[in-house]
Amino acid sequence: MTGASGRNQLMGIFRFLGYERQWDIRLLQTPAELTPAVVESAAAEGVNGLITCVQGQPGTVEALVAAPFPVVALDLDSPVLKKRRHNIVFVWTDDKGVGERGARFLSGLGRIGTFAFVPSLPEEGWSRRRETAFQREVARHGGTCSVFPGGDAHALGAWLESLPRPVAVMAASDLRARQVIEACHDINLDIPVQVAVLGVDNDELLCDYTSPTLSSVLPDFEDEGFKAAQALERMMNARRPCAPRIIPCSVKSIVARESTHPFAPSENLVRRARTFIAREAAKGASVADVVAHLGVSRRLADLRFREIAGETIGDALTRTRLDAVTRLLRQRHVPLSQIPARCGFANANSLRNLFRRTYGVSMRAWRANSSR
């Protein structure tokens, strides 16, 4: 509950529960509340399952290994928990993808040959995976990468000052990126002219209220929560113990802000594309129409849109049209027969099939459920 990742994971769990599932939930809001005694009492009370993103107090992980109910671990890399032989699922952020997306984004800013990575403090396994992927992707794009060896704020400032400029710095998290920005302020390095800074998590309380505002890689935490609840339901309903599983979740997008702004013409390109899609998708605009509006090649438009938005232009057009469909479905006076044309679909059957694949129900059933 104290960070953006946990809150968004919880949103994903609640989104899963929104599909007419009746779960009684006990919410532990801090790591201190998850203790061996709580796990043992939960087992005694007949609790059916548990989702956790923290290891809790000493001895808790060992209690979870022995617990009779299914367990889902969210972004929890615990060697002890891996000893559990059945009814355990690990849902992880794709840390390799985080590092790669960050490197591609910073490499696309232009005029930068030096890259750097600042690990977490203390350094964790997820941070090392992001660091390794970042270094490899930077090298693949022809750049060189330095890694902060560790130390206090003074050491961080001295290291930043020693790097050839302009330099693009990726930090393992938004909190660490904010420390990079503070160190740059202390030694009068201009952000983003001399140093471009990129964090991870898109914690808006940190990113939007840092000066300059902080660009950040956004993992799909809400999808992690949704898949965690989905995995827990599967184990709770299974007739026999389930084998351990790992479910990786990809990066959703990169949110570009002032800390990388002067080097990011791609950000402006994607912003223009999104504005056009929002205005023209329901009128039947195609990918070719978006590309023509941008005035660039199809290949460049696709590449930049996928890097920053985390989806293709075609996906964005479809998603925007489906959003328009659900808005009209909530307006019960609008006949179903009028919705395809009003939302940019030339073929009513294709919309019906797409809607059922996306939402799992027909448009008529969706309307009835939303009214209830």
Bridge partner list, 200? 217
pLDDT of residue 372: 65
pLDDT of residue 262: 64
The verdict on 111 and 177 lying in the same domain is: yes
Q: pLDDT grade, residue 121 (50/70/90)?
A: confident
The verdict on 106 and 121 lying in the same domain is: yes
The verdict on 159 and 230 lying in the same domain is: no
Please identify, among 200, 230, 252, the residue that sits at the C-terminal boundary of a domain. Answer: 252
Q: pLDDT grade, residue 264 (50/70/90)?
A: low
Rounded mean pLDDT of 248-261? 89
User: Cα(187)–Cα(336) distance, rounded to whole angstroms?
Assistant: 62
The verdict on 105 and 148 lying in the same domain is: yes
If one compares 132 and 332, the residue with the highest pLDDT of the two is 132
- pLDDT tens digits, 13-43: 999 988 677 889 999 988 899 999 999 999 9
Whole-Å CA distances, 211 to 115, 202, 242, 262, 333: 21, 15, 48, 15, 48
Rounded mean pLDDT of 58-81? 92
Number of domains in the chain: 3
- pLDDT tens digits, 206-225: 898 888 999 999 999 999 99
The verdict on 111 and 202 lying in the same domain is: yes
- pLDDT tens digits, 343-371: 999 899 999 999 999 888 899 998 888 76
If one compares 37 and 303, the residue with the highest pLDDT of the two is 37
CATH number, domain with residue 214: 3.40.50.2300
Structure tokens at 358: 């996306």
If one compares 164 and 310, the residue with the highest pLDDT of the two is 164
Q: Does residue 183 surpass a pLDDT of 80?
A: yes
CATH number, domain with residue 343: 1.10.10.60
Rounded mean pLDDT of 48-70? 93
The verdict on 239 and 90 lying in the same domain is: yes
The verdict on 214 and 105 lying in the same domain is: yes
The verdict on 154 and 180 lying in the same domain is: yes
Q: Does residue 268 surpass a pLDDT of 80?
A: no
The CA angle 132-130-271, to the nearest 5 degrees, is 125
Range of the domain at 49: 4-94+221-252
- pLDDT tens digits, 334-343: 899 999 999 9
The verdict on 281 and 146 lying in the same domain is: no
The verdict on 15 and 49 lying in the same domain is: yes
pTM: 0.70
The verdict on 110 and 167 lying in the same domain is: yes
- pLDDT tens digits, 130-175: 999 999 999 998 889 999 998 999 999 999 999 998 899 999 999 9
Q: What are phi and psi of 72, to 5 degrees?
A: -115, 125
pLDDT of residue 263: 55
CA nearest neighbour of 54 among 119, 9, 116:
9
Q: How many CA atoms lie within 13 A of 234 on its CB side?
A: 15
The verdict on 204 and 349 lying in the same domain is: no
